[in-house]
């Protein structure tokens, strides 16, 4: 084999190697292009696509394509997230206090240790990415400012005991107003007090006793209200029964009076027609009704004979007296 043949074979081998390398590099480049042109939008996120600095939002879930090296995809978590204020959580779930955030002053110049949990959600990914450098930090600063401003309007006693619900409501309102003004693409979900207490153990114990006493007061009031609610219907029912009985007695008396009036009018009409007979009948009926056990003494006129007859049977007594009179004459 001549030198020219050897050189020819060498050049051929080099060309083959170059062609294979170029093919591999081209395939690799094509794979990179394909992979960089595809992206997937998950259920818990949205994607912002920027083309030469112009942003567009992609919310449709699933596989999408973009222009490699021209368009950039930025993922934004749209699930509900939270910020701890006044405390933090370890990896094992335990918590630790962050005093620079939790210690606050009340309107009566006392200190309390107050922990909050702020829940929020990204509702405008484009504003969330480009309206500020660190929107999460802005939200935390707004929340801390709102909490301190609200706590400073309450006394320590109210803040630790009965004012928690009102404090939460006021803080929630203030944060929402501030977020609306800042317009950083974040919406507040909730702001809730995790714990509020005085910063020393002795004060904590004293306020715990106050809270217990107030709860006892509320319990006593609730029991009294429950007793009142039980007794009022019973009293109303008893009053209604008495009123019904009085109405029934009233009706009965009115009817009885009307009946007596009718009887009197009937007797009066009889009296006008037969005055003597009516007088005698009325007298006998009255005596029979008023003196049912009385016996009548009848004087015969000469003072020597007295007869006793029960008033309940005057006709029989009169007949008996007449019979005895006849027997005496015989």
Q: Return the CA Rg of the chain.
A: 55
What average pLDDT does the chain have? 79
What is residue 259's predicted lDDT score, i.e. its pLDDT? 85
What is residue 173's predicted lDDT score, i.e. its pLDDT? 94
- Is residue 239 over pLDDT 50? yes
Distance CA 154, CA 163 (A): 8
Summarize pLDDT for 154-212 with one digit per residue, the tens: 988 888 888 899 999 999 999 999 999 999 999 999 999 988 887 666 566 666 677 77
What is residue 135's predicted lDDT score, i.e. its pLDDT? 93
- Is residue 84 over pLDDT 80? yes
Which residues sit opposite 120 in a β-bridge? 81, 188
Distance CA 181, CA 78 (A): 21
Q: How confident is the model at residue 265 (pLDDT cuts 50, 70, 90)?
A: confident
- Of 282 and 148, the structure prediction assigns the larger pLDDT to 148
Model-level pTM?
Answer: 0.53
Q: In Å, how far from its chain's centre is CA 276?
A: 84
Summarize pLDDT for 3-45 with one digit per residue, the tens: 555 555 556 666 666 677 767 766 666 666 565 667 788 888 8
- Is residue 309 over pLDDT 50? no
Backbone angles phi, psi at 58, to 5 degrees: -120, 110
- Mean pLDDT of the 258-274 span: 80
Pairing between strand 38-41 and 62-65? antiparallel
Query: Is residue 112 exposed (0-12), middle (13-18) or buried (19+ Cβ within 10 Å)?
Result: buried
- Is residue 298 over pLDDT 60? no
User: 116: closest CA among 161, 155, 69, 164?
Assistant: 164
- The structural domains of the chain, ordered by start, are 17-77 (no CATH), 81-199 (3.30.479.30), 274-329 (no CATH)
Pairing between strand 95-97 and 54-58? unpaired
- Of 316 and 214, the structure prediction assigns the larger pLDDT to 214
Summarize pLDDT for 52-70 with one digit per residue, the tens: 878 888 888 888 777 777 7
């Amino acid at each position: 084999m001549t030198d020219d043949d050897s050189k020819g074979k060498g050049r051929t081998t080099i060309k083959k190697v170059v062609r294979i390398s170029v093919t591999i590099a081209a395939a690799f480049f094509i794979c990179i292009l394909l992979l960089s042109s595809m992206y997937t939008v998950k259920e818990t996120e949205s994607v912002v696509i920027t083309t030469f600095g112009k942003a567009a939002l992609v919310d449709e879930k699933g596989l999408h394509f973009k222009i490699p090296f021209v368009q950039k995809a930025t993922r934004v978590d749209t699930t509900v997230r939270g910020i701890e204020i006044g405390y933090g959580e370890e990896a094992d779930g335990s918590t630790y206090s962050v005093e620079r955030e939790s210690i606050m002053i009340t309107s009566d110049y006392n200190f309390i240790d107050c922990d909050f949990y702020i829940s929020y959600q990204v509702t405008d990914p484009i504003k969330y990415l480009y309206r500020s450098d660190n929107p999460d930090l802005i939200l935390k600063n707004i929340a801390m400012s709102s909490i301190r401003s609200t706590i400073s309007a309450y006394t320590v006693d109210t803040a630790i005991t009965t004012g928690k619900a009102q404090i939460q409501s006021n803080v929630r309102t203030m944060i929402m107003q501030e977020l609306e003004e800042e317009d950083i693409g974040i919406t507040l979900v909730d702001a809730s007090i995790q714990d509020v207490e005085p910063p020393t153990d002795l004060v904590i114990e004293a306020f715990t006793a106050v809270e217990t006493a107030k709860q006892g007061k509320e319990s006593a009031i609730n029991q009294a209200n429950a007793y009142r609610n039980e007794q009022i219907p019973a009293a109303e029912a008893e009053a209604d029964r008495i009123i019904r009985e009085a109405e029934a007695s009233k009706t009965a008396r009115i009817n009885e009076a009307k009946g007596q009036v009718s009887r009197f009018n009937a007797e009066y009409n009889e009296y006008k027609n037969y005055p003597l007979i009516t007088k005698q009948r009325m007298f006998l009926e009255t005596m029979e009704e008023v003196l049912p056990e009385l016996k009548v003494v009848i004087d015969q006129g000469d003072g020597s004979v007295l007869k006793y007859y029960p008033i309940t049977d005057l006709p029989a007594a009169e007949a008996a007296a007449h019979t005895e009179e006849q027997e005496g004459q015989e």
